[in-house]
Amino acid sequence: MQKIIIGSDKSGFSLKEAVKAHLLERGVEVEDCGTRSLEAGIPYFEVAPVVAERVQSGEFSRGILICGTGAGMAVVANKYRGVYAVACESVYAAEKCRAINDANVMTMGGWIVAPELGVAMVDKFLDTGFTDNLEEWRREFLKNARVKVANLEETIYK
Protein backbone atom coordinates (compact mmCIF):
# COMPACT_ATOMS: atom_id res chain seq x y z
CA MET A 1 0.00 0.00 0.00
CA GLN A 2 1.25 3.47 -0.85
CA LYS A 3 1.72 5.98 1.97
CA ILE A 4 1.28 9.60 0.94
CA ILE A 5 1.63 12.75 2.99
CA ILE A 6 -0.47 15.70 1.88
CA GLY A 7 -0.80 19.27 3.04
CA SER A 8 -2.26 22.59 2.03
CA ASP A 9 -2.65 26.14 3.13
CA LYS A 10 -6.05 27.87 3.10
CA SER A 11 -5.88 28.58 -0.65
CA GLY A 12 -5.37 24.90 -1.45
CA PHE A 13 -7.80 23.48 1.12
CA SER A 14 -10.70 22.59 -1.21
CA LEU A 15 -8.45 20.90 -3.77
CA LYS A 16 -6.60 19.03 -1.00
CA GLU A 17 -9.87 17.70 0.38
CA ALA A 18 -10.92 16.42 -3.07
CA VAL A 19 -7.54 14.78 -3.66
CA LYS A 20 -7.46 13.27 -0.17
CA ALA A 21 -10.94 11.75 -0.60
CA HIS A 22 -9.90 10.25 -3.94
CA LEU A 23 -6.70 8.79 -2.49
CA LEU A 24 -8.62 7.18 0.36
CA GLU A 25 -11.11 5.68 -2.13
CA ARG A 26 -8.12 4.37 -4.08
CA GLY A 27 -6.87 2.60 -0.94
CA VAL A 28 -3.88 4.85 -0.35
CA GLU A 29 -2.81 5.53 3.23
CA VAL A 30 -2.93 9.32 3.58
CA GLU A 31 -1.63 11.57 6.30
CA ASP A 32 -2.91 15.14 6.21
CA CYS A 33 -0.57 17.59 7.88
CA GLY A 34 -2.05 20.80 6.54
CA THR A 35 -4.97 23.14 6.93
CA ARG A 36 -8.02 21.41 8.43
CA SER A 37 -10.65 24.07 7.72
CA LEU A 38 -11.16 27.28 5.81
CA GLU A 39 -11.42 29.12 9.11
CA ALA A 40 -8.02 28.03 10.44
CA GLY A 41 -5.48 28.08 7.64
CA ILE A 42 -1.82 27.16 8.13
CA PRO A 43 0.62 29.20 5.98
CA TYR A 44 2.38 27.45 3.10
CA PHE A 45 5.79 28.10 4.67
CA GLU A 46 4.72 26.08 7.73
CA VAL A 47 3.04 23.20 5.87
CA ALA A 48 5.72 22.55 3.22
CA PRO A 49 8.53 21.86 5.75
CA VAL A 50 6.45 19.16 7.47
CA VAL A 51 5.85 17.31 4.19
CA ALA A 52 9.41 17.84 2.96
CA GLU A 53 11.00 16.56 6.18
CA ARG A 54 8.86 13.44 6.24
CA VAL A 55 9.58 12.66 2.58
CA GLN A 56 13.25 13.43 3.22
CA SER A 57 13.32 10.98 6.15
CA GLY A 58 11.87 8.19 3.98
CA GLU A 59 8.77 7.84 6.12
CA PHE A 60 6.74 8.72 3.00
CA SER A 61 7.86 8.02 -0.55
CA ARG A 62 5.78 10.83 -2.03
CA GLY A 63 4.16 14.05 -0.93
CA ILE A 64 1.52 16.38 -2.29
CA LEU A 65 1.39 20.07 -1.43
CA ILE A 66 -1.29 22.54 -2.46
CA CYS A 67 -1.33 26.32 -2.07
CA GLY A 68 -2.76 29.07 -4.29
CA THR A 69 -0.43 28.53 -7.24
CA GLY A 70 1.74 25.60 -6.14
CA ALA A 71 4.85 27.77 -6.49
CA GLY A 72 5.30 28.75 -2.84
CA MET A 73 5.05 25.16 -1.66
CA ALA A 74 7.58 24.05 -4.30
CA VAL A 75 10.04 26.79 -3.34
CA VAL A 76 9.96 25.81 0.34
CA ALA A 77 9.95 22.02 -0.18
CA ASN A 78 12.94 22.24 -2.52
CA LYS A 79 15.04 23.70 0.29
CA TYR A 80 15.30 20.16 1.73
CA ARG A 81 18.03 17.80 0.58
CA GLY A 82 16.64 14.89 -1.42
CA VAL A 83 13.26 16.51 -1.92
CA TYR A 84 12.38 17.18 -5.55
CA ALA A 85 9.16 19.20 -5.70
CA VAL A 86 7.61 20.26 -8.98
CA ALA A 87 4.64 22.58 -9.45
CA CYS A 88 2.26 20.98 -11.96
CA GLU A 89 -0.79 22.29 -13.79
CA SER A 90 -1.60 19.36 -16.11
CA VAL A 91 -1.70 15.58 -16.22
CA TYR A 92 1.18 15.69 -18.72
CA ALA A 93 3.33 17.73 -16.32
CA ALA A 94 2.47 15.36 -13.46
CA GLU A 95 3.61 12.40 -15.55
CA LYS A 96 6.79 14.05 -16.76
CA CYS A 97 7.82 15.35 -13.33
CA ARG A 98 8.06 11.70 -12.31
CA ALA A 99 9.37 10.17 -15.53
CA ILE A 100 12.00 12.84 -16.22
CA ASN A 101 12.78 14.46 -12.87
CA ASP A 102 11.99 11.61 -10.46
CA ALA A 103 10.05 14.15 -8.38
CA ASN A 104 8.92 12.90 -5.00
CA VAL A 105 6.68 15.88 -4.19
CA MET A 106 4.06 17.34 -6.50
CA THR A 107 2.65 20.77 -5.83
CA MET A 108 -0.52 22.23 -7.28
CA GLY A 109 -2.43 25.49 -7.14
CA GLY A 110 -5.91 25.54 -5.70
CA TRP A 111 -6.61 28.74 -7.67
CA ILE A 112 -5.51 27.04 -10.91
CA VAL A 113 -6.38 23.33 -10.81
CA ALA A 114 -9.98 22.08 -10.69
CA PRO A 115 -10.66 19.11 -8.39
CA GLU A 116 -11.26 16.65 -11.26
CA LEU A 117 -7.99 17.67 -12.89
CA GLY A 118 -6.14 17.51 -9.57
CA VAL A 119 -7.33 13.95 -8.99
CA ALA A 120 -6.19 12.90 -12.48
CA MET A 121 -2.84 14.59 -11.92
CA VAL A 122 -2.30 12.82 -8.61
CA ASP A 123 -3.15 9.45 -10.18
CA LYS A 124 -0.57 10.04 -12.91
CA PHE A 125 2.02 11.25 -10.36
CA LEU A 126 1.56 8.11 -8.25
CA ASP A 127 1.37 5.66 -11.15
CA THR A 128 4.42 6.86 -13.09
CA GLY A 129 7.92 5.65 -12.33
CA PHE A 130 11.25 7.24 -13.14
CA THR A 131 11.94 6.93 -16.91
CA ASP A 132 8.56 5.30 -17.65
CA ASN A 133 7.45 5.53 -21.29
CA LEU A 134 10.68 7.16 -22.48
CA GLU A 135 13.08 6.16 -25.25
CA GLU A 136 16.06 4.03 -24.22
CA TRP A 137 18.60 6.77 -25.00
CA ARG A 138 16.64 9.22 -22.82
CA ARG A 139 16.40 6.67 -19.99
CA GLU A 140 20.17 6.31 -19.93
CA PHE A 141 20.66 10.08 -20.12
CA LEU A 142 18.28 10.64 -17.21
CA LYS A 143 19.81 7.93 -15.04
CA ASN A 144 23.19 9.61 -15.51
CA ALA A 145 21.65 13.02 -14.92
CA ARG A 146 20.18 11.83 -11.63
CA VAL A 147 23.69 10.88 -10.48
CA LYS A 148 25.01 14.32 -11.52
CA VAL A 149 22.21 16.06 -9.60
CA ALA A 150 22.93 13.93 -6.52
CA ASN A 151 26.61 14.92 -6.77
CA LEU A 152 25.62 18.57 -7.07
CA GLU A 153 23.48 18.18 -3.99
CA GLU A 154 26.45 16.76 -2.10
CA THR A 155 28.51 19.88 -2.84
CA ILE A 156 25.67 22.22 -1.90
CA TYR A 157 24.76 20.55 1.40
CA LYS A 158 28.31 20.04 2.77
Domain at 3-132: CATH code = 3.40.1400.10
For residue 158, pLDDT over 90 is answered with no
Contact 122, 64 (CB under 8 A): yes
Tell me what pLDDT residue 157 has: 87
How is the chain split into domains, by residue range? Answer: 3-132
The Cα–Cα gap between 121 and 89 comes to 8
Q: Helices 13-25 and 115-127, interaxial angle, to 10°?
A: 50
Annotation says 33 is catalytic? no
Tell me what pLDDT residue 66 has: 98
Tell me what pLDDT residue 1 has: 76
Tell me what pLDDT residue 85 has: 98
| Per-residue pLDDT tens digits for 3-33 | 999 999 999 999 999 999 999 999 999 999 9
| Per-residue pLDDT tens digits for 35-89 | 999 888 899 999 999 999 999 999 999 999 999 999 999 999 999 999 999 999 9
Tell me what pLDDT residue 40 has: 87
| Residues belonging to the chain | 158
What DSSP character marks residue 128?
Answer: P
Catalytic residue among 33, 67, 88, 97: 67
Given CA atoms 30, 67, 43, 100 in this order, what sign does their dihedral have?
positive
Strand ranges (E), the chain: 3-8, 29-32, 62-67, 85-87, 105-109
